[in-house]
Amino acid sequence: MLRKILGLNAAFSTINGIAMLFAPTFLAAIFFDLDFALFGMSGAEILQILAMGLFLFAAYVGFVAFKLPQFSGQVKIIILADWSWVISTILLLVFASSTFSTFGLVFFAIVAFIVAGFALAQRKFSNSVTD
């Protein structure tokens, strides 16, 4: 079951990464305030950078899933990364909510909820896998 959950996590990250890489201008327009920029980068550029991070994360998660149980210890790192995403999202939505459109607030809250689900499920089933 852990392998399936990790696979879903990797697929979810990949799908979001593809969307952010190939439709960054459209997504930035619906996710962010129109004047949003960070460190001189537009929302679209930030989404493209985020897409690259999601691809790297998805590749790592997929690799660990494929190599279970040999790499079962790596699941803890994935769980930590997932919770880091959730906490970071909550902090952004609380302290930088004016940066996001209403759609962006809802979208990123839903993504954080899904990622929290992955973290909880991975934790639950990681105990049944041994090195």
Mean pLDDT of 35-50: 90
Mean pLDDT of 36-47: 90
Q: What angle do CA 94, 118, 9 make, to 5 degrees?
A: 105
pLDDT, position 84: 98
The tokens for 37 are 């920029």
Beta carbons of 32 and 99 less than 8 angstroms apart: yes
Mean pLDDT of 79-105: 96
Greater confidence, 37 or 75? Answer: 75
pLDDT, position 71: 85
Residues 6+ positions from 84 with CB-CB distance below 8 Å? none
pLDDT, position 72: 86
The tokens for 45 are 């550029």
Rounded to whole angstroms, the Cα distance separating 17 from 35 reads: 23
pLDDT, position 2: 95
Write the single-letter amino acid at 6: L
pLDDT of 18 over the 90 cut: yes
Residue of 46, 108, 56 lying closest to 78 (CA atoms): 56
Q: What angle do CA 107, 36, 50 make, to 5 degrees?
A: 55
Q: What is the mean pLDDT of the chain?
A: 94
Write the single-letter amino acid at 103: F
Mean pLDDT of 88-105: 95
Residue of 61, 53, 55, 56 lying closest to 78 (CA atoms): 61
Which pLDDT band holds residue 38 (cuts at 50, 70, 90)?
confident
Please tell me whether residue 129 adopts helix, strand or coil conformation: coil
